[in-house]
Chains A and B, each alone.
Chain A
């Protein structure tokens, strides 16, 4: 959160972790609305392996923080049905890789039901899951699959990059009448940030300029926002002023802010942790090409995860995702500094 945002909200300054921000958002929404409940694996006493839900079962009981069998398809399907009949479920899918098991329920059911019913039925549910490599968890626990859901009309996709955004976006997600897939970077849970005490929400489809700049735009998502901010610091020392735009939600996507930034700086790199081919970066690069072509001094560049299954060995894994250094290198090339 910027100082300006804190001043606008009028909340007192306070540092909490990304995980605590998620926890607070859930607790507040569950207090506010008895229809909200959580269903997932190890969500109650264990509070998930990431401990993000710690304490919730104590306050809300096992009726509302429900440990499920290891059945991702049914967890999701049951929540679709519950959402259609008056509840507001929050599904917890431990690792983002396990969304593969939920795809029929998310893609063919949740995303379609409102449209197929001519607007009669609604599916107000949230699926919280994770993304991000670099935990040495290997190929089946390290993927970032948010592009899949961003591809599907009827779904909304949020990817917070700070504790402040995590709390505000999650509250919005829970109140939304549509199915929302909410991706949390598992490397970020311990990261601290300023979160005001008071109530606030962040609308979907509004990107946030995390750092203003004038020479190049780094459009980033989730984990790559922090990577881009670090890159911007390094670039600053090299005399390149980088603007970092955090898209915050890929569906809906705030095209205006992205295009405006690209027009302003005339150069853009899109940085995302999903696989590069057919990924989120391609979509955003296309948005920039369409909206800012005549303002660009260089082609739009994309940086995503390498198109390989994420390897286990640290030496190999570290190569697969963009790093501040690799972003700096690309930015310098684009700015003609090497």
Chain B
């Protein structure tokens, strides 16, 4: 299968290793990965902040970058960006009465998948250790990000994949379904409430005793990681893709060696 990678702006700029891991996992399964160079961002920050006029060129850019038929499916290591591509892009097109853009964004949305969705529903991966060689012998807890959980209905796909990694110990996170408080510009506009939500998330992660909180959304992990780092917590965050890409030969760093800088 020819798979187009949508790296997302945060992963592209801040967490290249998450995108590299996504590429490695899919290439290991024998797929060809392409990276449409015109891609930038899904525009979710603009849309969710109410800057819809400013969002339109961002949405158009995504439709240009992913509009060609030179790939079978697109994948992003981020539930919220995929939800934006699927739900918000056609909405923006409708708002501006652009029928052509609506058609293109709807078609792109229909073949865009979040990583665990692609692995589970399209590629039939049920056992990461056996099928991907995934190995990560550490205690890990897991945060299910809101948009993946509620907008994409990922259910237990990410958690099931995580649990099937060789050597891993997955500890349940109390109040796992509670928002970490990021919410894009919410973290700036309502910084105090956002910080209070984050403090509870940090406390719950620490209560598990795990050195690592895994998740499928780099933006939430950036927020949670930033909170763990500021509170001097022994725990940090790492994206699911990096754990799935970790093998005995090429292991992802252990939680304790990730602490400085809280890499997601």
Do A and B truly interact?
no
Query: Which B residues contact A (CB, under 8 angstroms)?
Result: none
